[in-house]
Amino acid sequence: MTLIIGSNVSIKEIAMTKKIAIAYEGTWTEISVPETARVIQYGTPAFPEIPIHPDPEMAVKEALANPVGMERIPELVKQGSKVTLAFDDPAKCPAPSQVLQVIIPVVISELLEAGVREEDITLVCASGGHCKWRPDELRTLIGPDVYKQFRPFDWREGRLINHDCTQGNVYLGETSLGDEVEYDKALVESDLLVYAGTIYPLAYGGYAGQGVVIGLGSMRALNSLHSYEVFRTATALSGEYQPEKNIYRKHKLAVHEKIENAIGKKIFYVDAITGPQQKIVAVFAGHVPELEEVEYPEADKYFKVKVPQVDIVVVGLPYLMGYDTSDNPACACNYAAQSARLWRNKPVLRENGIIIALARCSGAISPRRPADLEAFELYRDCFSARELYDYTDSFCNNQEYLYQYQHDYAYSPIHSILLLQNVDALHKVARRTIFAGEVNPSVIREIGAIPTKSFDEALAQATEIVGKDADILVLPRHYYDPRPIFEVT
């Protein structure tokens, strides 16, 4: 995929290019771009290295000693209190996780010191509509010691369980915005729910947070909160975290408020801002939304990067993605689109902008996503992703999909509907998207993108559309290093 110099390329054109190593299919390839192309890469002056906290355990203890917007844990529990400690799943918090392996033991220790009995503490992997996680995956995520402590027998769940978005949930009503609020019964049955989460840049709502709202939601709640009007409109497809600027954030906060009003208790969060290799940068504890008024501005200090609007975004996609591999076209669309969605002030791509994604995409789908194939079939019959919601009830009550989710560690059927929306979202972000590399042309065309064999061919097609003097932004390691939030000037 390197530039091939032909006889029609002048010496002047060669001199005006630079070579960049960019991610491709789990490895690296070299591309040539115009000298004027802007490159944003972590660890450079444009995006400086983020300082890792020298003593993460102490950072957690200090946060617990100074919670924002609510009392300390010892003031919230006593002997006999039933406590649920929920935490981000591997799709949100890649394993092995320094975050959870530090936060969870410290929180457990504080609960025990406050008089809570160990047998009254339950750990819940807050997986939302994602798959349930296998024993080895959970052990790697939270560490072998805590795993053995709460699940001494691998073949039984013990007091370390996966959230189930299809059963064991309680309906709590509707928000003033019309969101259906149905959540894990642990929220009702626990005297205190503590949530251990991560804060990192997201292309929908700016930063992660309010982990309960997604992680402990039922299919009904997730379908409501991820409705087309909330999750796929122009006011949601950005990195803005202010609720008045991002409708998705507005709905998330409304759901969170409704949950607490319904259960009559506050949720206690312990959030870690994460940097390279998911290591802890800073820790905050307390109550949402007051907590976010402190931790989000702090995160901005590390992740905000100023860039101008551009005509072309070039991004290298990893092969292994959060929900599947890049062979799954819906996942490839998701990652391609997110590269141009992490913006503030105004879109990083101009109105007729183009995304060039270097990726492998064969069309293959993981066995852990059995409902995706049918979701693609349904999408073929739809004029837009909005129409997929017409199939939600029958699709999500498919007994085969439900069995595979509940017993075979497959993703829930609602997640297949939600993931397919990324095909539609990609077209809202960019005028065209071009995939370069080892791709199945028919699969790429079916999702409305352009297939090419090489980056050079992709760049040539892109400049034919937007002009040879196009402003280009290159993101070589976007999904391997911390991701920036683009403050677009």
Q: For 168-183, how does the pLDDT look when each residue is reduced to its tens digit (9 = 90+)?
A: 999 999 999 999 999 9
Which DSSP string corresponds to 141-178? Answer: HH-HHHHHHH-SSTTS-TTEEE--TTSSEEEEEE-TT-
Cis before residue 289, ω within 30 degrees of 0? yes
- Tens digit of pLDDT for each residue in 249-269? 999 999 999 999 999 999 999
Phi-psi region of 484 (alpha: psi -120 to 50; beta: other; left: phi over 0): beta
Alpha-carbon distance 201 to 339, whole Å? Answer: 11
Q: Using one digit for the tens of pLDDT, what is the confidence trace for 58-108? A: 999 999 999 999 999 999 999 999 999 999 999 887 766 789 999 999 999
CA atoms within 13 A on the CB side of 252: 27
Percent over 70 (pLDDT), the chain: 96
Closest CA to 22 of 399, 413, 400, 358: 358
Residue 266 CB coordination number (10 Å):
16
* pLDDT score for 10: 42
Q: Is the pLDDT of residue 36 over 60?
A: yes
CA distances, 449 to each of 32, 41, 472 (Å): 22, 26, 19
Question: Where in the chain do CATH 3.90.226.30 domains reside?
Answer: 11-36+308-488
In this prediction, residues 136-145 reach a mean pLDDT of 94
* Model confidence, pTM: 0.94
Does residue 2 carry a pLDDT above 60? no
Topology, domain 56-303: Rossmann fold (3.40.50)
Q: Where are the beta strands (DSSP E) in 175-251?
A: 180-184, 192-199, 201-202, 206-207
Q: What's the pLDDT band for 184 if we cut at 50, 70, 90? A: very high
Give the pLDDT confidence score for residue 305 in this predicted structure: 97
Task: Report domain 11-36+308-488's class.
Answer: alpha beta
pLDDT at 95: 64
Confidence of residue 220 (pLDDT cuts 50, 70, 90): very high
Determine contact, residues 205/249, Cβ cutoff 8 Å. yes
pLDDT tens-place string over residues 412-463: 999 999 999 889 889 999 999 999 999 999 999 999 999 999 999 999 999 9
Mean pLDDT estimate for the chain: 93
Q: Is the pLDDT of residue 155 over 80?
A: no
Q: Cβ neighbours of residue 384 under 8 Å, at least 6 residues apart? A: 424
The pLDDT of residue 9:
43
Among candidates 303, 305, 246, 245, which has minimal Cα distance to 489?
A: 305
Candidate from 25-39, 153-167, 254-268, 284-298 with smallest mean pLDDT: 153-167
pLDDT band of 14, cuts 50, 70, 90:
very low
Domain with CATH 3.40.50.11440 in the chain: 56-303
pLDDT of residue 153: 84
SS3 label, residue 65: helix
Q: How confident is the model at residue 3 (pLDDT cuts 50, 70, 90)?
A: very low
pLDDT at 235: 81
Residues with Cβ within 8 Å of 21's Cβ and at least 6 positions away in sequence, in order, are 28, 29, 30, 476
- 170 within 8 A of 181, measured Cβ to Cβ: no
DSSP string over 18-45: EEEEEEETTEEEEEEEETT-EE--TTBT
